[in-house]
Amino acid sequence: MMNKFTTIKTMLLGAVALSIFAVSCKKDTLETITPTEDATAVDNLLSKMDPEMQSFTIDPSQPQTITGTEGTVINIPANAFVDANGNAITGNVTISLKEILSLKDQITSGAYAVSNGELLKSGGEFFFEATANGEKLKLAVNQSITFDIPATEVDSTMQVFIGQEVSEDSTGSNVNWIPADTSKYQTVVTDSVWNSKDTSWTMDTAFLATYQLYMTLSGYTMKVYDIYNTSYYNCDHFYNYPNLIGELPVTITNASNEQDEVVDYSIKLVYKKLGSVAEGYEPNSGYSGLLDKKFSGGISSTWLTGEDVIVIVVGVGQKSKKAYYGKTSLTLSSSSNPSISINTISDADLAAALDNL
């Protein structure tokens, strides 16, 4: 995420304006790939390091403030919830929260910052649901919940994205992020740092804004009027990358002393400046590769020339069940040929390595 800004231009964006922005930034989308095998062993390894799903039990008749372990603050007004039929909730409500605020969180959760195959610049993701008696709840009319999302950098061009869970899309992500304004919702972006006069736009008065996003000095405040149709939320914007390469040659070498070990491995492209992760895969082989001692070949992914990237490989030995890890950093060009050496690593050290990307 990004350096603290020195100025934020006040914006009030209607659905039409943001839709135009989203369309104008969509270029060079990767083709959808259907994997022929999965990365079950690697997925299982990474899932052990996935951000925990936090659970809170609240009395919905009273205003509530909930703070997640990573600093997300949720403010819920009294009597905010109703059931699917619009009936008020009288018993306890369970709040589920998962904070996806780091590169490691994206990697381990599989919720990459991508929208229909396009890489996004991410300002922080989270999962939120409210349930009672196992039923997902809605917000009552004219009620809203606010989420204060911490960030080390703030970008005034961010907008609200909502996430649709998928089995695994062409980027390897388990969540596909859709701009709120193109999902029959309206996003309003305003400035809460300075009380400058907002720019006026002609807005569709047939429905109220469903999401509002405020830029603050410490992160973002998202105001949400609908929690029933979605559970994943993100502060993102499309990243315009005219120099996309779909495939580059990559060399992976198993430098460990394990004899006759075959390693299931997965490649991730980490764009720190964007706060985003993309998956790499062998064409026609799915997201899970098999490595004996050395692999040399083309790897398809979202290779962005001119961008700094960390290419990481995470693997699991088929016999030893040990974790493997390696990485290399480079500035991408059309002639790049990344080479990564992997070694065995403990689960704890792997988690620490991903924390320090």
- Mean pLDDT of successive 10-residue stretches along the chain, which has 357 residues: 32 31 34 42 94 97 97 97 94 97 95 88 95 95 94 88 73 80 43 34 44 88 89 90 90 89 94 93 72 89 95 96 97 97 97 97
Do the Cβ atoms of 295 and 289 come closer than 8 Å? Answer: yes
Helix, strand, coil percent content, the chain, rounded in steps of 5: 10, 45, 45
Give the Cα separation of 300 and 284 in Å (integer): 10
Q: Are strands 276-280 and 294-304 parallel, antiparallel or unpaired?
A: unpaired
Q: 38 is written with which tokens?
A: 């999965």
Q: What angle do CA 9, 10, 13 make, to 5 degrees?
A: 120
Query: φ and ψ at 41, to 5 degrees?
Result: -60, -45
Do the Cβ atoms of 194 and 216 come closer than 8 Å? Answer: no
Q: 9 is written with which tokens?
A: 């231009």
Do the Cβ atoms of 120 and 168 come closer than 8 Å? Answer: no
Q: What angle do CA 13, 18, 22 make, to 5 degrees?
A: 160
Q: What angle do CA 69, 71, 76 make, to 5 degrees?
A: 95
Q: Hunting for tokens 């950098």 — which residue is that?
A: 153
Give the Cα separation of 164 and 89 in Å (integer): 26
Query: φ and ψ at 339, to 5 degrees?
Result: -125, 125
Q: 224 is written with which tokens?
A: 């949400």
Query: What pLDDT, on the 0 to 100 scale, is given for residue 117?
Result: 80
- Tally of CB atoms within 10 A around 252: 25
Q: Which domains does the chain have, with CATH numbers?
A: 15-238 (no CATH), 244-355 (2.60.40)
Give the Cα separation of 222 and 203 in Å (integer): 20
The total number of residues written for the chain in this structure: 357
The helix/strand/coil state of 24 is helix
- Tally of CB atoms within 10 A around 32: 10
- Tally of CB atoms within 10 A around 303: 25
- Tally of CB atoms within 10 A around 49: 17
Q: What angle do CA 256, 260, 262 make, to 5 degrees?
A: 80
Give the Cα separation of 113 and 121 in Å (integer): 7
What is the value of pTM for the model shown?
0.79
